Amino acid sequence: MQKDEGDRLEVWKNAPAGGGAKSSKGTSHIMRNNEFRKLSLVALALLGSTVAWSRSTPRPGAPEPQAASVSASASQSTASSSYVVRTVEESVTGTISGRILYNGKPVLPKRFTVTSDTSICGTTKEVYPVRIEGGGIADAVVWIDDITNGKAFNFPSPLIDQKKCSFVPHVLLMKGGELKLGNTDLCMHNIHVVSFANREANKAIPPGAAPQAITLARADRITVRCDVHKWMSSYVVVAKNPYYVITGAGGSFRLEGVPAGHYHLKVWQESLGELDQEITVEPAKRTETGFTYRANGA
């Protein structure tokens, strides 16, 4: 009786799930499957550990993300930090002069209806995205982009005022440093300074208030707006060297005291963008050049 129960127990242990007796071949097959499953689980566990390690631990020689971020921030410098002021004999310097021209259909002004502060601002305002006089473009900025040494900065003390609900001047050049924001009008203005390289500023300036100062230390092209009067805008260029100039009436410009050499000359206009060319300056000579913006299919 005990033998029969033992036989039945042994048969039950070796029986397949679907019933019926299992051959020794079937048994070894199941054992191989079980071993394969165990090995697979071990392999998956090891793989998971490897993936987790690779996500949390930098590869040997790879920089930490934080270090890369700090390095990028550290690479930014003040506007004139890479420019060296030195005494340059006049005999080894030259002059660049010329005009910035416009070739295209007339640029029409944008018209705004004034609904507040009309006693000061008037009832309508016209804003010209491009100021063209005699075929030349005024208020464009011309500069030598890659000069590294030469004369000292001599820009006037930077101040943007607000007169009759317009910014004065419309385009301003300055060395990196302090910019003053004034308000001559007898109404409230809210100046919004938008910059990529410098800290953004938003200041309410009541009538008669003393000019307020902000710091613009890094080279940049900056937009200045009034959040109260939507047509008001001006532009500040923080120069990285002193060889910048704003074009006058008719688009004329002149850069003096340029050390002889080969340079990249650039021009920028708020609505038309940027152009560039290579130029060679010779000692004691004037180099005539210029740029032409072609617009509206011209």
Residue 40, domain extent: 1-15+24-48
Model pLDDT for residues 35-68, shown as the tens digit of each residue = 545 544 444 444 444 333 333 333 333 333 333 3
Q: In whole angstroms, what is the distance from residue 152 CA to residue 92 CA?
A: 16
Same-domain check for residues 174 and 122? yes
Token pair 């003040």 is found at 78
Tell me whether residue 69 is in a domain. Answer: no
**What phi, psi does 85 have (nearest 5°)?**
-85, 130
- For the chain, what's the residue count? 298
Tell me, letter by letter, the H, E, C secondary structure of the chain. Answer: CHHHHHHHHHHHHHCCCCCCCCCHHHHHHHHHHHHHHHHHHHHHHHHHHHHHHHHHCCCCCCCCHHHHHHHHHHHCCCCCCCCEECCCCHHHEEEEEEEEEEECCCCCCEEEECCCCHHHHCCEEEECCCEEECCEEECCEEEECCCCEECCCCCCCCEEEEECCEEECCEEEEECEEEEECCCCCCCEEEEEECCCCCCEEEEECCCCCCEEEEECCCEEEEEEECCCCCCEEEEEEECCCCEEECCHHHEEEEEEEECEEEEEEEEECCCEEEEEEEEECCCCEEEEEEEEECCCC
9 within a domain of the structure (yes/no): yes
Same-domain status, 28 and 114: no
Tens of pLDDT, residues 145-192: 999 999 999 999 999 999 999 999 999 999 999 999 999 999 999 999
Say yes or no: 201 and 264 in one domain: yes
pLDDT in single tens digits along all 298 residues of the chain: 444 444 433 333 333 334 433 433 444 444 444 454 554 444 444 444 433 333 333 333 333 333 332 222 333 456 667 999 999 999 999 999 999 999 999 999 999 999 999 999 999 999 999 999 999 999 999 999 999 999 999 999 999 999 999 999 999 999 999 999 999 999 999 999 999 999 999 999 999 899 999 999 999 999 999 999 999 999 999 999 999 999 999 999 999 999 999 999 999 999 999 999 999 999 999 999 999 999 865 6
How many domains is the chain partitioned into structurally?
A: 2
Same domain for 30 and 165, yes or no, is: no
Q: Do 89 and 222 fall into the same domain?
A: yes
Query: Of the candidates 127, 230, 213, which has an alpha carbon nearest to the alpha carbon of residue 174?
Result: 213
Residues 31 and 170 in one domain: no
Query: Nearest CA to 291 among 94, 102, 96?
Result: 102
- Enter the tokens of residue 188: 């409230």
Same domain, yes or no: 237 and 132: yes
Tell me whether residue 43 is in a domain: yes
Rounded to 5°, angle at Cα 211 from 207 and 214? 130
Q: Evaluate if pTM is beyond 0.85.
A: no
